[in-house]
Structure 1
Amino acid sequence: MEPEVLQNPPWYIEPKEGESISHYFGRFRRHEAVCVSSPGTLSKAVGIGPVLARWEKFRFNPFPSQKELEAIGKLIGLDADRIAQMLPSKGEKMKLEPIRLCAVCYAEQAYHRLEWQFQSTVGCDRHKLRLLSECPFCKERFAIPALWEQGECNKCHTPFRSMKKRQKAY
């Protein structure tokens, strides 16, 4: 007898290395096989209350429970441990605002990194650049990563990848 091969559901989306939970769930809700447009609707479908909306804003107080992670994981086809990797470690403090990004990293791979929101993060260690917290062209603060549908400033529509020339060294 051959072992059963588990198939991912049609709405399965593979998380990217170091991706923030906010960005991941925004990508998930925009997937063509998903008909859920808000974090509250998804949370209610799983029976975990409005927690996903808080998580997308990096508000982890109280910290997500194993039960919540398992419930959402079951619905989206992702292991609870893999979802936990998109969360900060329990001792890591988050910078809720402003949302930050390294435009060079984003140009290389277009997704929000969890580490950019750590209070302990000064800049991008990989590129030795300060993180941007607003559009360098119009000064609009960045929206939460769940809303980064086009990877651009919400006000002037400048692509994040083109902001890399405006980042300063640290």
Structure 2
Amino acid sequence: MNNTKEAQLWLFPVEPSNGESLSHFLGRFRRSNHLSPSALGDLAGIGGVVARWERFHLNPFPTDEQFQALAEVVDVDSSTLREMLPPKGTGMKCDRHNLKLISKCPNCRAKFKMPALWEYGCCHRCRLPFAAIAQYQQSV
């Protein structure tokens, strides 16, 4: 039995949410299974790219082989994982809401953590809900 099959025996399943980014999904999966980015990359046999993907560093863009390897570990179809990526060549924007993303909370000015570390849907310092932040964002 290979490492991926053995790992699946003890990993908790995590389903992607509708419209969720790859970064946020990987963070939720790792937290549920008490894994670091490098541990998840090692299980999938893809090395340290998981940490880069969580920070939206997609250059070079993930390959089909990398997605297939990750899909086997997280038990999600590789095409579903690919759909969670921002379109190639786009900047930091929310395609679903057509808004430019901001990097700091408009209320307390704290820098946002990367999406992989979001747990509660709000600013980690002042607890302003992300839904309330949309009024501070500009349309694309």
Could you say which residue in structure 2 is the equivalent of 1:56? 54
Structure 2: unaligned runs, 5 residues or longer? 1-7
Which letter maps to 2:136?
Q
State the alpha-carbon separation in 1 of the partners of residues 45 and 56 from structure 2. Answer: 20
Shift of 1:152: 2.0
Is 1:16 the equivalent of 2:37? no
1:3 alignment counterpart: none
- The alpha carbon displacement at 1:46 in A equals 1.4
Tell me by how many angstroms 1:72 deviates: 0.8
* Higher fraction of helix: 2
C-alpha distance in 2 between matches for 1:130 and 1:61: 21
Please tell me the residue identity of whatever aligns with 1:137. N
Aligned equivalent of 2:3:
none
Q: Deviations along 1:128-150, whole A, 9 cap, x unmatched?
A: x6654321211112110001112
3-state SS of paired residue (1:49):
coil
1:69 equivalent in alignment to 2:44: no
Contact 1:130–1:167 under 8 Å retained in 2: no
Going from structure 1 to structure 2, the CA distance change for 1:40 and 1:124 (only over 3 Å counts) comes to same
2:91 to 86, 89, 94: 94
**C-alpha distance in structure 1 between counterparts of 2:84 and 2:53, whole Å:** 10
* Counterpart residue type for residue 41 of structure 2: S
- Paired AA for residue 54 in structure 2: E
Report the count of equivalent residues: 131
5+ residue gaps, structure 1, are 1-7, 96-114
d(CA) in 2 for partners of 1:134, 1:41: 29
1:80-109 C-alpha deviation (Å, 9 max, x unpaired): 11111111333x3333xxxxxxxxxxxxxx
The residue number in structure 1 matching 2:4 is none
Q: Report the structure number with the largest CA radius of gyration.
A: 1
AA aligned to 2:106 is: P
* TM-score (normalised: structure 1): 0.65
Change (3 A) 1:43 1:163: same
SS in 2 for 1:94: coil
Return the alpha-carbon distance in structure 2 between the equivalents of residues 168 and 77 of structure 1: 35
Give the fraction of aligned pairs with identical amino acids, expressed as a percent: 39
Q: 1:19-58 residue pairs with structure 2 within 5 A? A: 19-31=20-32, 34-36=33-35, 38-58=36-56
Q: How far did residue 169 of structure 1 move?
A: 6.6
The 8 Å contact of residues 73 and 80 in structure 1, kept in 2 or not, is answered as: yes
Counterparts in 2 of 1:46 and 1:133: CA distance versus 1, 3 Å: same
Matches of 2:87 and 2:137 in 1, distance apart? 28
1:29 shift after superposition = 1.6
